[in-house]
């Protein structure tokens, strides 16, 4: 292996030893690769601690359907409510698969305090929300609500129906 020092090659990760600290801007060049890899100090406990604390952190979210039935789920931090609903068999449509092209993942945040903890909706999200069935003051698109620690305990209501303009002839089924 050849030692190369370069500050322009930062950002490449060493696949077998991540996430760890880069030492003094030094990079290792592997003889069979044109990529430069940051030289890292490997420590089993550092990997276990950083990976364990980031990937296992989850928040509790309650989905309330149109009949008032509640389903409490654990959602990993960083996951959208649309993804979480799909992984937990909650009927939240998401016709555009989270690309901000429909309003079928419309949810209603039941507590205004949690609503205020969210980032403001973008213009694109507001445009789609204008098409949503049963729009109210605390409405958001589930694909845009991302789990973060301060949302632990949030309750989301599912509207009685959706408006799906993406599929011709589709009759929306109530949630």
Give CA–CA dist 53/43, Å, rounded.
16
Each domain of the chain, given as residue ranges in start order, spans 58-157
Instruction: Indicate if the pLDDT at residue 23 is higher than 70.
Output: no
* pLDDT (tens digit per residue) in 104-156: 999 999 999 999 999 999 999 999 999 998 999 999 999 999 999 999 999 99
Give CA–CA dist 78/82, Å, rounded. Answer: 12
Topology annotation, domain 58-157: Ubiquitin-like (UB roll) (3.10.20)
Please count the other Cβ atoms lying within 10 Å of the Cβ belonging to residue 66: 14
- Which structure tokens are listed for 133? 């069935």
Coil/strand/helix, residue 37: strand
Higher pLDDT pick, 47 / 97 = 97
Helix locations, the chain, DSSP H: 44-55, 81-87, 112-117, 123-129
Give the pairing of strands 154-157 and 58-64: parallel
Confidence of residue 161 (pLDDT cuts 50, 70, 90): confident
The overall average pLDDT reported for the chain is 74
Closest CA to 30 of 21, 39, 22: 39
For residue 89, pLDDT over 80 is answered with: yes
The two tokens of residue 113 are: 């305090």
């Amino acid at each position: 292996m050849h030692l190369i020092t370069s500050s322009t090659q930062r950002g490449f990760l060493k696949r077998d030893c991540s996430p760890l600290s880069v030492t003094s801007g030094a990079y290792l060049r592997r003889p069979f690769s044109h990529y430069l890899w940051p030289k890292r100090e490997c420590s089993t406990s550092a990997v276990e601690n950083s990976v364990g604390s980031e990937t296992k952190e989850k928040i509790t979210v309650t989905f309330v359907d149109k009949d008032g039935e509640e389903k409490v789920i654990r959602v990993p931090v960083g996951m959208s409510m649309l993804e979480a609903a799909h992984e937990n068999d909650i009927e939240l449509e998401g016709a555009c698969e989270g690309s901000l092209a429909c309003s079928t993942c419309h949810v209603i945040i039941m507590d205004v305090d949690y609503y205020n903890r969210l980032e403001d909706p973008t213009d694109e999200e507001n445009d789609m929300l204008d098409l949503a069935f049963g729009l109210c003051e605390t409405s958001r698109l589930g694909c845009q609500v991302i789990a973060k620690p301060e949302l632990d305990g949030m309750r989301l209501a599912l509207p009685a129906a959706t408006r799906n303009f993406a599929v011709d002839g589709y009759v929306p089924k109530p949630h």
